[in-house]
Amino acid sequence: MTSLIAKLRPVRDRIETACVTAGRDVDSVTLLAVSKTQPAAAVREAFAAGQRAFGENYVQEALDKIAALADLRAQIEWHLIGPLQSNKTRPVAAAFDWVHSVDRLKIAQRLSEQRPPDLPPLQVCLQVNISGEASKSGLLPADVPAVAQAVAQLPRLTLRGLMAIPEPEGDLAAQRLPHRALCELLDQLNAAGLALDTLSMGMSADLEAAVAEGATLVRVGTAIFGQRRPPPAE
Ligand SMILES: *Cc1c(COP(=O)(O)O)cnc(C)c1O
């Protein structure tokens, strides 16, 4: 296997080039390495190559990995980016730094109630179904303002922004449209009095489009770690 240092470099270069093209500061975009289905050893290797923020999709797999990497816990930021059911909020509130996939108020309320008092507030994004496909999770854009106002009031959460997984599109121009829509929604929330700084959008295939439209955090899996293994049975 090519070393992860060699795999991270081109991804960082792509982000940097996209920032320069967009006239943005190269430090304005965080790379989240999506390590779902990858072993703890792969995370450790990426950590050794300087990577600090990791994204996971499957709660039990993530909890096992976080435990296996407990020696690095203070230096790693763990982000949950996969679907979250209400019966799994308690361990998530205790183990993660961020949750990007909050898609209803009830989940946010549980995370706030269950966030241990000795930890800083949990950082959260609302997941938005920006392409409007029936099958994907996420809030409908029209429902986002009311939910955002309610989540922003919860004491043990900090609402940071919005996350989306747009439908794959062929070319850059088409890829930019849903990312632009998410950015406009964030602007609308900030105009209504919120102070949100995070647009979690862009993956291996469309990070350039996302950065062009204002992404502050891109979630990249296969371009760093290669092909994924089959998802765990949960
Ligand atoms: C798996 C996943 C990614 C990473 O996708 P790649 O195409 O491998 O970069 C990003 N975001 C979410 C929500 C994911 O589930």
pLDDT band for position 231 (cuts 50, 70, 90): confident
- Assigned domain for 152 exists: yes
Mean pLDDT to the nearest integer, 104-128: 98
pLDDT band for position 169 (cuts 50, 70, 90): confident
- Assigned domain for 93 exists: yes
- Assigned domain for 231 exists: no
Q: What is the DSSP letter of 115?
A: S
What tokens does 4 get?
């992860």
Instruction: Reply yes or no on whether the pLDDT at 234 is more than 80.
Output: no
Ligand 1 and 35: CB distance under 6 A: no
Q: Please, how many CA atoms are within 13 Å of residue 63, restricted to the half-sphere of its CB? A: 11
CA distance readout (Å), 141 to 50, 84, 174: 36, 19, 19
- Assigned domain for 233 exists: no
The rounded distance, in Å, linking the Cα atoms of 166 and 202 is 8
Count: domains in the chain? 1
Span from the CA of 45 to the centroid of ligand 1 (angstroms): 19
Neighbours of 16 (CB within 10 A): 15
Predicted local distance difference test score (pLDDT) of residue 137? 84
Residue 186: partners with Cβ closer than 8 Å, 6 or more residues away: 161, 162, 196, 199, 214
Span from the CA of 146 to the centroid of ligand 1 (angstroms): 27
pLDDT tens sequence across 7-36: 899 999 999 999 999 999 999 999 999 999
Give the position of tokens 């296996």. 68
Predicted local distance difference test score (pLDDT) of residue 66? 98
Instruction: Reply yes or no on whether the pLDDT at 180 is more than 80.
Output: yes
- Assigned domain for 230 exists: no
Instruction: Reply yes or no on whether the pLDDT at 61 is more than 80.
Output: yes
Q: How many residues does the chain have?
A: 234
Neighbours of 201 (CB within 10 A): 32
Q: Output the domain CATH number for residue 55.
A: 3.20.20.10
- Assigned domain for 214 exists: yes
- Assigned domain for 21 exists: yes
Span from the CA of 205 to the centroid of ligand 1 (angstroms): 9
> CB burial class (10 A; 0-12, 13-18, 19+) of residue 125?
buried
Mean pLDDT to the nearest integer, 188-213: 98
pLDDT band for position 230 (cuts 50, 70, 90): confident
Ligand 1 and 220: CB distance under 6 A: yes
152: containing domain: 2-225
The string of DSSP codes covering 164-204 is --PPP-SSHHHHHHHHHHHHHHHHHHHHTT----EEE---T
- Assigned domain for 45 exists: yes
Q: Which atom of ligand 1 is nearest to the CA of 203?
A: 9
